[in-house]
Every structure is written in structure tokens, then in C-alpha cells.
Amino acid sequence: MFPIEYRIENEDESVTLDFKKEVYGSEKKGEFLKDVAAFANALSNDLYRYIVIGVKDQNGIKEYFNVVRNDVGDVSNYQQLIDQNIEPNIPINIKYVKIEENELAVFVIGPCDNSPYVFKKDYLKNKQGIIYIRNGTSTRFAKRQELDLMYQRRQKVQRSDILVGFDELNESSIELRALDSKELKNSPSNKRKREIEHEINNRKSPSYTMSLKMLRDFDINTSLRIFDSEIPLTSADDSELQQMLLDVKDDYRNNDNYYYFEEVGNHFNLIILNQGSEPLNDCTIKLKVPIKGGVRIADDIYDNPADSSLLFRNSFESSQYPYVEKKDTTYIITENFKTIKHKLPTKVFQEDIRIVFPPSLEDTLLTIHYEIYADNYPDVISGDLTIKVVKNHNIVI
């Protein structure tokens, strides 16, 4: 699911999204209740539905209007109005977003996982027992077939039974650190690049002689590099040095991957708690992370190239790292489960996800989206989590 700001600018009205130019005044309380009930009853896999105030949408052309918060009022008044007139309970929240310098109000309705939602008493034009449903971009009375579908969904594991977070407390946000400039500078390829450049510059010096070149061949650091299969720089001719400089990123790709993903990058995982009365069977879990500002996610666990013991590792040993693919502007991380047991916390990924943030992403929020598919649950279980990218010294351990 994309952030609501993206949806406002790029999506049309639907069963989960509605645009209104003006706030609901006191004379429109009945219309507000009708809209909320209809959205909550909409047959959609999305748990949350949105009514955006401050948008005029005419034939796909949107115009935005600044909304005054005092005109919107307190969310508790809206929640009380809903609780007094509709059952079961429909949670609602209000958030504010800026689009083209205009502040818009967004009514966030949900999670909507207990339909049908019914008027429990007469209120203005809304009669007791009435069931509205959002269909396309319009609202009408629910049909028998639609009510059957609502009840069928309720007979399975309830969406509210499935909790997903970064730990066993189901925290929906986590702080992960960005790399600092020193860490970037000290990557294996950058260090090797500086060494090559230093050797090239040394050879331009009038004091450079063959005898000095021979002495440097026995430098302890250079000697040790022989065990790492690195060519001593003093043994390379000028053209070889230039080629080494061009190839350094490719030659040290595995070293860099190990350094970034295993030594200085972040590792994280997710926890699922199934509070329902039965397991989720034959599950596929997808985590979608936007490729934003240089975010990098490992596609495997990288071995240390300097570890000679890995040469003797059995070929049948394989990583349990999840499948990672790049699709357009998103990383999609996939894991499969035979069963997600109920009443027990379950780690989503067998191996922690490796993720790296460049310094430019410090103090930014990254919204990641998860989707869970199960044979014994008819809909996609989905939701959003947040990563706050911080400086290293801001991490609390």
C-alpha cells in the first residue's frame, strides 16, 4: 500500500478512497455516518479506508484547498458519534498531510474487519438496521449477496487476530542507523582505490626510484595482502595500475557487500502473533520496501572473502535468506511458511534482513508494507510499518 500522500495525488476515488472539498459541518452529521458505514462495509482487502478533506476532483483533475484544523474539530467527537449510532465499533482517526502547500485532513477509517456495520438506531435520514456499502465511487444499500460475502469473511481467522511488528511487543516502528561518511570512506573498494591512487602519485614523484619500489615490496601490509590474493601494487606497471583503478569496484564487490551488509549495516526481522483460534496454513509473506534515496537490501548473506575456511565448506550448504527481488521502485522480500501457529510469536524471516541506508537518509521515515496470504484466510492480511533512519549516536540499545 502506498502512502496516503501518493494516493491522493495519483489515484482516483474508489471503494477505499474518497475526496471532499469541505469539512463535514454540524448539518452533515448524518452524511458523515452514512459515508463511514459504507466505507467500512466495502468489499476490499484493504483494512483501512480514507476520506480526504480539501480535494476537489473533477474528471481526474484535482484541486487542493487548505483545511483549517479548528473547522475539522477533535477526532473524539467523531468517534463518539459513530459509537452512538453504528455497531459494531468502527475506529476512526484524523491525520493531516500537505499537498502543494495545502494542509488536508484525512479521516482514517479502520481496521474494518468486522462487517457488516449497521445503524443501531434512527439518526436523521438513516434508519435503524440499515446497511450501506461503498460500490465504486457511490454509496447504496447492501445486497443479500454482499452480506453473504461479509459473513463468509468473518467465519475465518479475524484480521484483528493477526499482529505484525518488529518485536514480540508488536512495535510498529523501529530505528535503524544510516551509514556515516567514515564508514563509506573505509569500504574495502574505497580503501584499495586510495592505495592505488597513492601508488600512482608516488610514481610521479622525482624521488621515486626502483630501489624504493623494491623496498616497498617487503612492506608488511603489502606482504600480508598476498594471503588475500591481492596483487602488490609495486609489482604492477603503470598501465596495470590504471586498469586496477577502473576495475576496483567490480574486483571488490564481494568485499564491499560483506562489509556493508554484515559489518556496518542493519539487520532486522518481523514477528507475527496469530491470536486466532486456528493456525494460518500454507502462507506466503511479502515485505515491500521502497527503493528510496539509495536504500540497499542484500539479496543473500555474504561470506567474508578473507575467510579461507569457506573454501572447504560443503557445496550443499545454502543460505536460508529470503528471496529478494527488485521490481520498479520497490524491493519485494518473500518468505513461505507451511504453518503460522496460533498463540505463539513467529519470526517471519529465517535470516534477518540486511539493509543499508546512506547518510543522505538520516532523519527520514520509510514506510514498508507487508502482505500475508494464507489458504484458510480469504483476504490479504496487510499493513504498514515504519523505519526511522537515524544517526549512529541516536540508536538506543
pLDDT digits (tens, 9 = 90+) for 45-54: 788 899 999 9
Where in the chain is CATH 2.60.40.10?
163-180+266-394
Which pLDDT score, from 0 to 100, does residue 14 have? 92
Lookup result for grid cell 435520514: 125
Alpha-carbon gap, residue 6 to 11, rounded angstroms? 8
Which pLDDT score, from 0 to 100, does residue 314 have? 53
Say whether pLDDT at 396 is over 50.
Answer: no
Grid coordinates given for 351:
535470516
Q: What tens digit of pLDDT does each residue of 289-298 get?
A: 999 889 999 9
What is the chain's percent helix, strand, coil content, to nearest 5?
30, 30, 35
Q: Is the model more confident about 174 or about 313?
A: 174
Taking residue 282's Cβ as centre, other Cβ atoms within 10 Å add up to 13
Mean pLDDT, residues 66-71: 93
* Cα–Cα distances in angstroms (integers) from residue 218 to residues 213, 232, 276, in the given order: 9, 9, 68
User: What percent of the chain clears pLDDT 70, i.e. is strictly above it?
Assistant: 88
pLDDT band at 397 (very low <50, low <70, confident <90, very high): very low
Three-state SS at 394: helix
pLDDT band at 223 (very low <50, low <70, confident <90, very high): very low
Please state whether beta strands 132-135 and 118-119 pair in parallel, antiparallel, or not at all (unpaired).
unpaired
pLDDT band at 65 (very low <50, low <70, confident <90, very high): very high
* Cα–Cα distances in angstroms (integers) from residue 139 to residues 14, 49, 53, 56, 106, in the given order: 11, 14, 18, 18, 19
Say whether pLDDT at 255 is over 90.
Answer: yes
65: Cβ contacts below 8 Å, ≥ 6 apart = 21, 22, 54, 55, 56, 102
Say if residues 113 and 91 touch (Cβ distance below 8 Å): no
The vertex-313 CA angle with 309 and 319, nearest 5°, equals 115
* Cα–Cα distances in angstroms (integers) from residue 201 to residues 16, 188, 196, 220, 234, in the given order: 63, 20, 9, 21, 12
Alpha-carbon gap, residue 117 to 254, rounded angstroms? 56
Alpha-carbon gap, residue 305 to 222, rounded angstroms? 17
pLDDT band at 117 (very low <50, low <70, confident <90, very high): very high
Q: If one looks up domain 4-155 in CATH, what number appears?
A: 3.30.950
Residue 252's closest CA among 308, 315, 186? 186
Where in the chain is CATH 3.30.950?
4-155
Q: Is the model more confident about 126 or about 233?
A: 126
Residue 376's closest CA among 283, 299, 295, 314? 283
Mean pLDDT of the chain: 86
Q: What tens digit of pLDDT does each residue of 334-359 get?
A: 999 889 988 889 999 999 999 999 99
Which pLDDT score, from 0 to 100, does residue 395 have? 47
pLDDT band at 230 (very low <50, low <70, confident <90, very high): low
Indicate the CATH number of 163-180+266-394 among 3.30.70.1350, 3.90.1150.10, 3.20.20.10, 2.60.40.10: 2.60.40.10
Which pLDDT score, from 0 to 100, does residue 390 have? 94
Grid coordinates given for 208:
621515486
Q: What is the CA radius of gyration of the chain?
A: 29
pLDDT band at 212 (very low <50, low <70, confident <90, very high): low
Which pLDDT score, from 0 to 100, does residue 176 have? 96
Q: Is the model more confident about 218 or about 283?
A: 283
Is the pTM here over 0.75, yes or no?
no
Alpha-carbon gap, residue 256 to 306, rounded angstroms? 12
pLDDT band at 226 (very low <50, low <70, confident <90, very high): very low
pLDDT band at 318 (very low <50, low <70, confident <90, very high): low
Three-state SS at 96: strand
Q: What tens digit of pLDDT does each residue of 136-145 get?
A: 888 999 999 9
Mean pLDDT, residues 226-239: 71
Q: Is the model more confident about 207 or about 330?
A: 330
* Cis peptide upstream of residue 111 (ω within 30 degrees of 0): yes
334: phi then psi, degrees, rounded to nearest 5: -120, 135
